[in-house]
Structure 1
Amino acid sequence: MTMNFNNRDPVYVQVVRHFKEQIATGSLEPGEEIPSRRELANRLKINPNTAQRAYKEMEEQGLIYTERNNPSKITKDEKTLGSVREELIIEAVDSFVSSIRPINVPLDEIVGLIKETYNKEGDKHD
């Protein structure tokens, strides 16, 4: 597991987002065990307290659960899992709209450019 951290957002927030992306793409399956807090801190070269804070946040959001002394696991709750994907899509769209709105590009043109770019990117991954 590797991550490139930015300087804008707290590291624990970036760790949570990384897990959300892994869940949304299916790289992490419902019920799958995740590394211990200490192991994650070692892998990512972050402070163990930061890893602990990320796990606490994910537990509060219902993304992971921990039973007694067993390893933490990705939730099996389908509603939560579905909302993760939707949340990431909405964040991306909001960010895009905020950055493009000042340019006053007509919506039809934006949609055309998005389709074109999306299809090009899809061709690269095939």
Structure 2
Amino acid sequence: MNFIPNDREPVYLQIIRYIKQQIVIGNLSPGDVIPSRREMAVKIKVNPNTVQKAYKEMEDMEIITTVRNYQSTITTNNETITKIRHELINESLEIFIENMKSINVEKEEILEIISDRY
């Protein structure tokens, strides 16, 4: 697990983003078991309550499923996984577009650069 928290946003949100990213890139597959709250807290060196908050949020978002007395698993709902992928794409694009606008790069130039580099 290669999770490195930053000081720019709450850690529980960073945990959620990390899990989403791991799902989208295929490191976590539908139905995979994820570490318990306590194990995750130890691995990433954060307070267990922070991990609990992240897991609760992910349960509410239907990203993970937790059945009593069992470890949490990644959703098997393909619609949810597709939705997560689109969310991450849109977040990244919004940041990119904001940055390009802030330095006055024209859309045509951006498209040309992307076409050349991608």
- TM bracket, shorter-chain basis: over 0.9
Matched residue, 2:27: 27
Compute the displacement of 1:99 (Å).
Answer: 1.0
Matched residue, 1:9: 9
Q: Flag structure 1 segments of 5+ consecutive residues without an equivalent.
A: 119-126
Instruction: Indicate the SS of the match to 1:2.
Output: coil
CA contact (8 A) 1:2 1:43 kept: no
How many residue pairs align between the two structures?
118
Compute the displacement of 1:107 (Å).
Answer: 1.2
1:114-125 matched pairs, under 5 angstroms: 114-118=114-118
Divergent runs of 4+, >4 A: none
Compute the displacement of 1:92 (Å).
Answer: 0.4
Matches of 1:44 and 1:77 in 2, distance apart? 27
What letter matches 1:79 in structure 2? Answer: E
Q: In terms of mean alpha carbon deviation, does 102-111 or 71-80 score higher?
A: 102-111
Question: 1:54 aligned to 2:54?
Answer: yes
1:1-126 matched pairs, under 5 angstroms: 1-118=1-118
Compute the displacement of 1:113 (Å).
Answer: 1.2
What letter matches 1:29 in structure 2? Answer: S
TM-score calculated relative to the size of structure 2: 0.95
Compute the displacement of 1:116 (Å).
Answer: 2.7
Q: Flag structure 2 segments of 5+ consecutive residues without an equivalent.
A: none
Q: RMSD in angstroms over aligned alpha carbons?
A: 1.0
